[in-house]
Structure 1
Amino acid sequence: MGLLAPCLLSKVLDLPPENLIKSISAVPVSKKRHVADFQLSIASVTEDGSSNCLAQDLQLQAQKIAERLRCDAVVSEISAGQGTVNFTINRELLAKTVLQQVLKDGSEYGVKSELFSTVPRQKAVIEFSSPNIAKKFHIGHLRSTIVGNFIANLKVALGHEVTRINYLGDWGMQFGLLGVGFQQFGDTEKLKSSPLQHLFEVYVQINKAAEDENTKKLAKDFFRKLEEHDEQTLSLWKQFRDFSIEEYIRIYKRLGVHFDEYSGESLYQEKSQEVLKMLENKGLLQKTTKGTGIVDLSEKKDLSSFSTVMRSDGTSLYITRDLAAAIDRMNKHSWDTMIYVTDKSQSNHFQHLFQILKLMGYDWAERCQHVSFGLVQGMKTRRGEVIFLEDVLNEVRSRMLQNMASAKTTKEIENPMETAEKVGLAALIIQDFRGLLSSDYQFSWDRALQSRGDTGVFLQYTHARLHSLEQMHGNEQLTDVNVACLQEPDAISVLQHLLRYDEVLYRSSQDLQPKHIVSYLLTLSHLAAMAHKTLPVKGSAPELAQVQHGVVTGLEAARGILEEQSVRALPTQWCNHLGEHAPAG
């Protein structure tokens, strides 16, 4: 963006330069035709905007503005488009500026753009993943985990202070049932060796017996003892929790995910009673004829919309503990924004949560946000319908190993299992992130693990291949780039696309959707694949290697946001397993 200084236009348009920053954008690269480098949107700089302006009016304004502007040492061509003024930058200046910027900023490329100059650095609390203790890590938690991790990575990359919280489902009546089940069917040794699997088996067995009234009474008694902090009951619950967290941490390590805090509903059992007292003192808590506590959320106060916050016996519910957790987190972290990442079925719950907080007088409730996502459908292993996340991770590793082994060319790599897992995980993440998060999508192993097309495997391949070229031909920094040899259309297309990254990053930062960055990366990989054919590094001027090195840096800057697991850890030799020919763009 710095190539086209807004101050050059501000005089003609009679607008302050800062008002033009978001009106100027890099033009998307087109395979079919030459495109300009930047465009100014006329609708965004006119008072009545695009809603009232007819297309021909915008076109006429674009032509008038284009006629008033003059080319100079920076801008070599100016033209009017469909409601835009288009600018083509001096080709040598474009190449030199973009390469120098990418190589200078490295992993912070795009972040230092003037687009972010007015965005304040904030403290963000992000709650994600949040499985239920004593149950195996359900596949439904995969999306929450990787989406929450993406948002956290994005915030960190943009300079925000982020606290990642895993809010565990570690309280509630199900623990009464599980406690009774473990007393009847449990095995201490199995609990130590495979806690989640064993507790899941126990839970299945006791659920079959739960229709018996005596079993229900025993479960209620167990949970009552838990709430009363009975020493023996609490000790057993603590074992369930500690063993479960240990196993979760092992699975998170495979995913390349970490948390700053492991919190849980159990921490807010007592504080939720304080919340109920606050609601009562503020006149917000009402009692039904059955004795349950509710909060009226309707505008007319006619109970057409309400939220239940207390059982008839006075104990708290999930939403009451969520209220206590939100207040506690504000006291502890003084956050600027708090984001909850769960599936869209919980949208109503979070709407009620934020409404109640606001009624309680907490204005910061407006800075709470629920990022919802749709369901993954059709995810099956070879053994059938998949339930547990670990089965998915094992399956993707197994399938990727098989794909690597069946490739035409083979080359020994030190740890094929680790490589297969990393590439397979990238495949899962890219397939998940390609669309709108709120949409359900149909999962396909074959589509996800393809080495050609818009897949995570292709993305990993591109990165590994570029690193391999760097190792073979050197990647030392050039102090003075001779840009005269970087004028081929394919080189220009790569440079033009690199220009767009700050806008892509800004867009993702606004709507927290990973699809913008994924689309950018896949296009960059396709452009790199085309450039491989027309711009061979071997035997060429060292400046061509600089373009390649710039692409690697650009890939890494964006890739690191999608997942923490560094692609640099991948052996470059693994790309030989995909066959003799590079995936085409």
Structure 2
Amino acid sequence: MEILPSSGDIQLQTETLASQLKQDSVVEDISAGRGVINFKVNRRLLAEKLLEPFGKGGGDTFGLDSELFNSLKRGTTLVEYSSPNIAKKFHAGHLRSTIIGNFIANLKQSLGNDVIRMNYLGDWGMQFGLLGAGFGQFGCVEKLKENPLQHLFEVYVRVNKEAEHNEDTKQAARDFFRQLEQHESQAVSLWQQFREITVKEYRHIYERLGVHFDVYSGESFHQDQAQEVVRQLQSRGLLKTSEKGTGVVDLSPDGDMSSVCTLLRSDGTTLYITRDIAAAIDRKEKYCFDEMIYVTDKSQEHHFSQLFQILLSMGHSWSDGCRHVSFGLVQGMKTRIGEVVFLEDVLDEARARMLHNMSQSNTTKKLENPEDTAEKVGVSALIVQDFKGPLQSDYKFDWDRILQAQGDTGVFLQYTHARLCSLMQRNEGMEAATFHPSLLLEQTSIIILQHLLRYDEVLYQSAQDLQPKHLVNFLLKLCHLIASAHRELPVKGSPQDVAQARLRLFSGACSVLANGMRILGIIPVNKM
């Protein structure tokens, strides 16, 4: 305000200000345009500072020591994701929860948080009454050994149909669940068997996805604690009895019971939300988390809003650190054999289609393990398709579109990474020589350097709203820039010092691409 008059000719103000600004080692030229001031950055310095870490083997931490992250709270983050129901359909929503939760856990970890990855299984409730009763009727121990998830699912479907018109089956299911609640050894033993083989199968599937969990928990762990929650709510005068005889908590702002949450059935048994309250309290005591993030579809938004409200009304101020990340639905996810039942079907389909595409391509390299490469590329295609838009959006699943090598797909990311790895391999040893940043002053190089410079901003933005689209779009743009650079900045046939400088640029881009892919939950392939 002291330098410029508050009114007057805008062009004169621009020129006056431009003439008073001084160049330094970073900004080498300042000029006035029409109402704008142009700053020209020292390109040699930009290349030198940005690509320096990649020559010292520090590429893995590039962008992560940025001052931008000083404002972020660090601490212990618990992420609950995937959470399938034992013996039930593992649908597309569970796939979304799995890969979104994995991304959030990876992001938080890369930014310096201690992360606890939790899979909270649906392993309790009346469905186990049905499954227990159904297994006695339709179960087969041999089939259970051969294909556990498929067999349990078939038994569950059959007993459900039976229960629709057969009162005896319904009663048998109620009896079995009551035996479970009362810890009767035979019922508990069968339930444990179902749970253990299901977890074992899921571990194998998660491994294929590149996902791991630190803790496998479940509703069953909190059935006794849920009764303690009921007692605490009663002692605080928060639990009321409704006209139907159910136990409810009044969540209406005016206390007029216009909005209530049911925590107890009329027969005194607890509900899903009662166990969720108990689970949250137990986790806080056990893990002392600073924040807890639940990843489920958007149909559960109301459930989590009620959960956080009840925790707060019970005096748990730490519930302010709890957050629900919700997502939309996937339509049309089918395999060749029909509707998706288990995640394994999706992974098998992605691998088979990718293998077929690779076998048709002239550029496919000789691979030691083509199935493994096809699996990794197929998974990256699923992830990028899912992460390109806002998580809240529903989207239509399209196998052909997501597996294209051209266009903004996971296959394109993998192809670019493999191509860069091939370039490094062919020129091994050359890059170790002296690096001359003054040889990277072409516009193509500068655009890539400026783009890499934004990596910390993109991670910061992702940390703010926990949306992977920022990182996905950053990496896709990087791949398009690299494709242009391959044409315009050849390594082969260039003078040695120019080739070395370009290799350093490609090496930096490759490193950032691989780091970003890993945060998304994609395992980069070196050949394809």
What SS does the aligned partner of 1:117 have? helix
- The equivalent of 1:156 in structure 2 is 109
Matches within 5 A, 1:103-142: 103-104=55-56, 105-142=58-95
The answer to whether structure 1 residue 555 and structure 2 residue 522 are counterparts is no
Contact preservation (8 Å) 1:475, 1:546: no
Matches within 5 A, 1:143-182: 143-182=96-135
Find 1:415's aligned residue among 353, 369, 384: 369
Output the CA distance in 1 between the equivalents of 2:219 and 2:126: 12
Contact preservation (8 Å) 2:68, 2:460: yes
Counterpart AA for 1:510:
Q
Contact preservation (8 Å) 1:285, 1:295: yes
Contact preservation (8 Å) 2:44, 2:437: yes
Shift of the 58–217 alpha-carbon distance from structure 1 to 2, 3 Å rule, reads farther
Instruction: Provide, for residues 182-227 of structure 1, a one-character-per-residue CA deviation record: whole Å limited to 9, x for no partner.
Output: 0000011211221110010001110111122121111111100000
Instruction: Provide, for residues 431-478 of structure 1, a one-character-per-residue CA deviation record: whole Å limited to 9, x for no partner.
Output: 110000011011111110111111111110000000001000115654
Counterpart AA for 1:274:
E
- The equivalent of 1:69 in structure 2 is 21
Find 2:51's aligned residue among 99, 113, 116: 99
Output the CA distance in 2 between the equivalents of 1:124 and 1:60: 53
How far is 1:61 from its partner? Answer: 8.6
Gaps of 5+ in 1: 1-11, 15-55, 575-585
Shift of the 549–359 alpha-carbon distance from structure 1 to 2, 3 Å rule, reads same
Output the CA distance in 1 between the equivalents of 2:320 and 2:283: 15
How far is 1:554 from its partner? Answer: 1.3
- The equivalent of 2:161 in structure 1 is 208
What SS does the aligned partner of 1:210 have? helix
How far is 1:239 from its partner? Answer: 0.5
Output the CA distance in 1 between the equivalents of 2:439 and 2:267: 79
Output the CA distance in 2 between the equivalents of 1:342 and 1:141: 8
Contact preservation (8 Å) 2:54, 2:504: no
Gaps of 5+ in 2: none
TM-score normalised by length of structure 2 = 0.94
Output the CA distance in 2 between the equivalents of 1:358 and 1:334: 17
Contact preservation (8 Å) 1:134, 1:200: yes
How far is 1:571 from its partner? Answer: 4.2
Counterpart AA for 1:377:
Q
Output the CA distance in 2 between the equivalents of 1:111 and 1:277: 47
Matches within 5 A, 1:171-570: 171-211=124-164, 212-474=166-428, 478=432, 480-540=434-494, 541=498, 542-563=500-521, 566-567=523-524, 570=525
Output the CA distance in 1 between the equivalents of 2:88 and 2:427: 51
Instruction: Provide, for residues 463-497 of structure 1, a one-character-per-residue CA deviation record: whole Å limited to 9, x for no partner.
Output: 00000010001156546421222111111111111
- The equivalent of 1:6 in structure 2 is none
Counterpart AA for 2:218:
G
How many equivalent residue pairs?
Answer: 519
Output the CA distance in 2 between the equivalents of 1:439 and 1:82: 42
How far is 1:552 from its partner? Answer: 0.9
Contact preservation (8 Å) 1:378, 1:443: yes
Shift of the 58–407 alpha-carbon distance from structure 1 to 2, 3 Å rule, reads farther
Sequence identity percentage: 59
How far is 1:238 from its partner? Answer: 0.4
Output the CA distance in 2 between the equivalents of 1:153 and 1:141: 18
Shift of the 485–223 alpha-carbon distance from structure 1 to 2, 3 Å rule, reads same
How far is 1:80 from its partner? Answer: 7.2
Output the CA distance in 2 between the equivalents of 1:263 and 1:556: 32
Identify the range of structure 1 (237-246 vs 373-382) with the bigger mean alpha-carbon deviation.
Answer: 373-382
Contact preservation (8 Å) 1:137, 1:388: yes
Shift of the 122–217 alpha-carbon distance from structure 1 to 2, 3 Å rule, reads same
Output the CA distance in 2 between the equivalents of 1:90 and 1:326: 53
Instruction: Provide, for residues 236-271 of structure 1, a one-character-per-residue CA deviation record: whole Å limited to 9, x for no partner.
Output: 000000010000001000000000000000000000
Shift of the 86–184 alpha-carbon distance from structure 1 to 2, 3 Å rule, reads farther
CA RMSD of aligned residues (A): 2.3
Contact preservation (8 Å) 1:413, 1:571: no
Counterpart AA for 1:157:
S
Output the CA distance in 2 between the equivalents of 1:176 and 1:151: 35
Counterpart AA for 1:566:
I
Contact preservation (8 Å) 1:285, 1:294: yes
Counterpart AA for 1:464:
A
TM-score normalised by length of structure 1 = 0.85
Output the CA distance in 1 between the equivalents of 2:287 and 2:33: 49
Shift of the 459–443 alpha-carbon distance from structure 1 to 2, 3 Å rule, reads same
Counterpart AA for 2:76:
K
Output the CA distance in 1 between the equivalents of 2:379 and 2:12: 50
Output the CA distance in 2 between the equivalents of 1:62 and 1:332: 60
How far is 1:71 from its partner? Answer: 1.7
